[in-house]
Amino acid sequence: MSRVKSKDTTPEMIVRRLLHAMGYRYRLHSKSMPGKPDLVFAGRKKVIFIHGCFWHGHDCKRGARIPATRQDYWLAKVGRNRERDVRNVASLEQAGWSVLTVWECELKDRVSLAERLASFLGGHQVSGCRSLPRPAEVHE
């Protein structure tokens, strides 16, 4: 697990490139905020977390997968991650921040993702997103 990155992951880079191409600017991994959100839009008082489906226990095919060995350990670990995520989101919302979670499995449909991000951030048109370059694909 020492090789598992918490910053600059493939899903995070995909979302960052997409948002940058849409004209949004942001700060990365604010250590002063609960959960160190991946993207912080301080002027809008909004944050985005980009979660891997397996590590954060998403309800998709990849998130529901349990390794064959040490199942008790992995179920407990993912459970703790989910509890921590709920606490962090609650703390941020209580402080007046809006929170969006983007899941790894949602990266397949870039147009839909771009529309969801624009809607959350309240603003820019998403017209040019169909022609955006497709960074490295996320494996299922």
64 is a domain residue:
yes
| Cα distance between the two ends of the chain | 19
Domain CATH code at residue 125: 3.40.960.10
139 is a domain residue:
no
pLDDT digits (tens, 9 = 90+) for 33-83: 999 999 999 999 999 999 999 889 899 888 888 888 999 999 999 999 999
89 is a domain residue:
yes
pLDDT for position 138: 45
pLDDT for position 124: 52
pLDDT for position 95: 95
5 is a domain residue:
no
138 is a domain residue:
no
DSSP string of 60-104? STTTT---SS-HHHHHHHHHHHHHHHHHHHHHHHHTT-EEEEEEG
Percent of the chain beyond pLDDT 70?
A: 84
28 is a domain residue:
yes
Give the SS3 label for residue 16.
helix
Q: What average pLDDT is seen over the chain?
A: 86
137 is a domain residue:
no
Structure tokens at 133: 């370059």
Q: Which domain holds residue 102?
A: 10-131
1 is a domain residue:
no
pLDDT for position 66: 86
Q: Which has more confidence, 2 or 85?
A: 85
pLDDT for position 64: 83
| CA–CA dist 93, 89 (Å, integer) | 6
CA 68 to chain centre: 26
Rounded to an integer, the average pLDDT of 14-24 is: 94
Domain count, the chain: 1
| CA–CA dist 44, 102 (Å, integer) | 18
Rounded to an integer, the average pLDDT of 98-118 is: 94
The answer to whether residues 135 and 14 touch, using CB atoms and an 8 Å cutoff, is yes
DSSP string of 23-59? T---EE--TTSTT--SEEETTTTEEEEEE-TTTTT-S
